[in-house]
Structure 1
Amino acid sequence: MISMTSARRFITVAAAAVLAGSALASPASADPVGPPLDDPSGVTTAATCGDWPWPTNATGVWTETQTSLGVGTKKVELRFGNIGGRQAGWARLAGGYESGDMFWFDVSHDKGKGWYQCGPFTFVNGGHNYTRAHYSSADPNLVFRACGRAKNSSSTHCTGWR
């Protein structure tokens, strides 16, 4: 039989773990932000966004915003375009990127308070320098941002939410 003291201790530890986990799933936003989540509980990963469309044949493409990765000319861009007649957004590495640079795409349905993370992806020579895309909408709560980290750097850089 478990004593009341042991039961209280278990509940306290469990509650602390739940609170810590929720802080990881929707951290406060600041640019640059912390590292990408390796075990993103409650955050979409590359495997989960695998059914999102590729922007390969997107038309009317433009760069909405971009930010430097803090090394040379490397940057990450938040791009938009039309895929199958629908507007969508995605992240793209640009400007002197190299094998080992990381990038990902964040999608929020509550103006950036919490988000889904598509990635992180590590660029390899001959591979894609862009993520899959997510369709946009007229909903003002739906916002996107692009994030990246240069090879051999511990600094993560993200565009603002758009």
Structure 2
Amino acid sequence: MKTFRRLLTVVAASAVIGGGFVVSPAIAEAAESDCAGGVNGFVDISDYLSGTVVRSKRVSDYDTPAWRPVELTVQHGNVGDRDRGWAKIEGWTEPYIDEVWMDVTFDGGQSWLQCGPFRKMTAENEPVTTAAYPTSPDPNIRFRGCASIGTNGVECTDWW
């Protein structure tokens, strides 16, 4: 946790321009290896784990959502005797193309850590989840899920 906070501080400081103002929210990108396998408070979970859906967004490839609908969700549930949140894509997913990641903010969304992306590496139409991170009653610690599906760019849920 201290490592992530230091990382967020460094990223936020580097976003400050000579005049002393921030151009855009700071984003600290973490590779899958930085938030998988029990690293930095994250835990691996099964792609098939389902919890309570708290945010949901239909995303798809091409211009027609009915062509290849994919559901992006932010979920939470009991993982290792602790409530944790994660992002998940499921539906008509494509291997080696579709990606999902979870943004975690410690300051209410002004800056965040991007955990992932986790890329689909299995058969079509199977879900993909991110690693899970502990939830908190602190209103500044929030989550959102983001996905890149085919050629449609990036879409994210609202913060939870």
Match of 1:101 in 2: 98
Where does residue 141 of structure 1 map in the other structure?
Answer: 140
Q: Alpha-carbon deviation of 1:115?
A: 0.3
Q: For residue 157 of structure 1, what is the aligned residue in structure 2?
A: 155
Deviations 1:93-134 (A, max 9, x none): 111111111111110011111000001122111587111000
2: distance between equivalents of 1:118 and 1:134? 10
Cα deviation digits, residues 49-103 of structure 1 (max 9, x gap): 1221123399882111111223321121111111122100001111111111111
- Contact 1:55 1:133 (C-alpha < 8 Å) held by counterparts: yes
- C-alpha separation in 1, matches of 2:120 and 2:47: 20
Equivalent in the alignment of 2:34: 48
In the TM superposition, what is the alpha-carbon distance from 1:18 to its structure 2 partner?
A: 5.7
Report the structure, 1 or 2, having the larger helix content: 1
Structure 1 segment 44-123 matched on structure 2, within 5 A: 44-50=30-36, 51=39, 52-56=42-46, 61-71=51-61, 72-99=68-95, 100-123=97-120
Bigger radius of gyration among the two: 1
In 1: Cα distance, 2:152 partner to 2:75 partner: 24
Alignment TM-score, normalising by the size of structure 2? 0.70
Identify if the C-alpha distance between structure 1 residues 137 and 147 changes in structure 2 by more than 3 Å, giving closer, same or farther.
same
Q: Does 1:132 align with 2:122?
A: no
Q: Which has the higher strand share?
A: 2
How far does the alpha carbon of each residue in 1:115-158 deviate from its partner, in whole angstroms, 9 at most, with x for none?
Answer: 0000112211158711100001111111000000112x142110
Structure 1: tracts of 5 or more residues without a match: 1-15, 28-41
Residue segments in structure 2 that go unaligned for 5+ positions in a row: 1-13, 62-67
Give the SS at the match of 1:47: helix
Aligned with 2:29: secondary structure? coil
Q: Normalised by the size of structure 1, how large is the TM-score? A: 0.69
Q: What's the Cα RMSD here?
A: 2.9
